[in-house]
Amino acid sequence: MAKEPKGVRLDNITKIYQDPKTKKDFAAVDNITLDIKPGSFVTLLGPSGCGKTTTLRMIAGFESPDTGDIYLGEEAINALTPHKRDTAMVFQSYALLPHYNVFDNIAYGLKIRKMSKEDIYKRVMDMVDLVELTGLEERQTNQLSGGQQQRVALARALVMEPGVLLFDEPLSNLDAKLRVTMRTEIRKIQQKLGITAIYVTHDQSEAMSLSDQIILMNKGKIAQIGTPQEIYFSPKNEFVADFIGEVNFLPGKLQKIENNKALVATYGTTIEAESFENLQPGDDCKVVLRPESVELHDEGRIPCEVILSTFMGSYQYYQVMVGDTMVKITEYNAKSRKIYKVGAKASITFDNSNLHVL
């Protein structure tokens, strides 16, 4: 990239819409504050209607916040139209020009800027090489595969050398295998160029594989900000734990807090784990237990009964009943383990270091 990447700051941003059915106002984005570092890859993740796309569109300039300020670098950009902001968007629909070939689609924005033909040619061909479309410059976009069309859309955005690159669910129209390939390519290109990227998706695996930071949103608010590892291993509330990956919740009662650890009684055993809630001794709580951190043994910490046992190739998948709670278990390298059949009595075991309490 010719330019330094820029950070993005959102200060107390709110966007109000009216529900078309009830005619009542609601906050699609509810007083959020964000600070996105230059050169980072940040994903806005969450269920439909959580406010992630509205947030992206406000950064791009397609929507205006009702309150709050947006900064690109040190520049306040609320009043700037989209084409005056130092951003570029890669859309879900690709938004390619069907009557233009690959070269002219990528060159479109540069021609509007009235750059010289020599400069346009060099920059476009550099982008064609970067997104691995060399030899397809003269091909019409309707003759390209979905993955190739997405590469053209990416090159068209990158050739403008934006301070920030925005992605609006760009891979949702591709099949599952191609999505994995393309997200790897997008991440490699972003790291090679050092550009700031803000990416919207509802796909957890996309967010985990791409991001330096994930901003998980729910009902217009930020539920948690953190690295993929922090979001997965240390969710701050039940929504985050349940949204990211598979999870089990064991009911428990807090016994005491000791050395910043919560001691919790659940199904006849005491668990020591991290706690992220303001819990007091005697409070009911939930122990967060990921399926891959649980094992089945003949004897262990908590008795259970197997109600489902399925071989999945790389792992054996179980569902067991612990009291009146169903627990999902994923045991990898199943060939070297004892396989429990439906109806078998067994026990679950786990390491306290893999747990925390909500």
Q: What CATH number is given to the structural domain containing 107?
A: 3.40.50.300
User: What is the share, in percent, of the chain residues with pLDDT greater than 90?
Assistant: 51
Decide which of 220, 238, 256 is a domain's last residue: 238
Round to whole Å and give the CA distance between 91 and 10.
22
In a domain, 3, yes or no: no
Residue 1 pLDDT exceeds 50: no
Residues 184 and 258 in one domain: no
User: Which pLDDT does position 218 carry in this prediction?
Assistant: 96
Residues 233 and 296 in one domain: no
Residues 208 and 251 in one domain: no
In a domain, 1, yes or no: no
In a domain, 65, yes or no: yes
Q: What does DSSP say about strands 269-275 and 356-357: parallel, antiparallel, or unpaired? A: parallel
- One-letter amino acid of 296: L
In a domain, 48, yes or no: yes
Decide which of 179, 206, 238 is a domain's last residue: 238
Mean pLDDT estimate for the chain? 89
Q: What's the pLDDT tens digit per position in 22-76? A: 889 999 999 999 999 999 999 999 999 899 999 999 999 999 999 999 999 999 9
In a domain, 17, yes or no: yes
> Which strands, in side-by-side order, build the sheet including 196-201?
87-90, 164-168, 196-201, 41-45, 213-218, 221-226
- Residue carrying the six token digits 């649980």: 294
- One-letter amino acid of 251: P
Q: What's the pLDDT tens digit per position in 158-189? A: 888 888 999 998 888 778 888 888 888 889 88
| Domain of 77, in residue numbers | 8-238
Round to whole Å and give the CA distance between 256 and 248.
22
Q: Rounded to whole angstroms, what are the CA distances from 218 to 171, 211, 237, 241? A: 22, 18, 12, 13
Tokens of 287: 């122990």
In a domain, 2, yes or no: no
User: Which pLDDT does position 296 carry in this prediction?
Assistant: 94
Residues 316 and 332 in one domain: yes
- Are the C-beta atoms of 60 and 73 separated by less than 8 Å? no
Residues 259 and 205 in one domain: no
Question: Domain count of the chain?
Answer: 2
Residues 167 and 194 in one domain: yes
In a domain, 298, yes or no: yes
Round to whole Å and give the CA distance between 178 and 190.
18
Residues 306 and 193 in one domain: no
The CATH code of the domain that includes 320 is: 2.40.50.140
Residues 228 and 99 in one domain: yes
In a domain, 187, yes or no: yes
Residue 277 pLDDT exceeds 80: no
Mean predicted confidence (pLDDT) in 206-212: 93
Round to whole Å and give the CA distance between 173 and 164.
23
Residues 100 and 54 in one domain: yes
Residues 234 and 278 in one domain: no
Mean predicted confidence (pLDDT) in 246-270: 88
Residues 27 and 52 in one domain: yes
Q: What's the pLDDT tens digit per position in 130-165? A: 888 888 888 888 888 888 888 888 888 888 888 899
Q: What does DSSP say about strands 269-275 and 261-266: parallel, antiparallel, or unpaired? A: antiparallel
Dump strand ranges (E) for the chain: 8-18, 25-36, 41-45, 67-72, 75-76, 87-90, 164-168, 196-201, 213-218, 221-226, 248-258, 261-266, 269-275, 284-289, 294-297, 302-311, 315-322, 325-332, 345-350, 356-357
Residues 272 and 346 in one domain: yes
Local confidence band at 256 (pLDDT 50, 70, 90 cut-offs)? confident
Decide which of 238, 266, 286 is a domain's last residue: 238
Local confidence band at 276 (pLDDT 50, 70, 90 cut-offs)? low
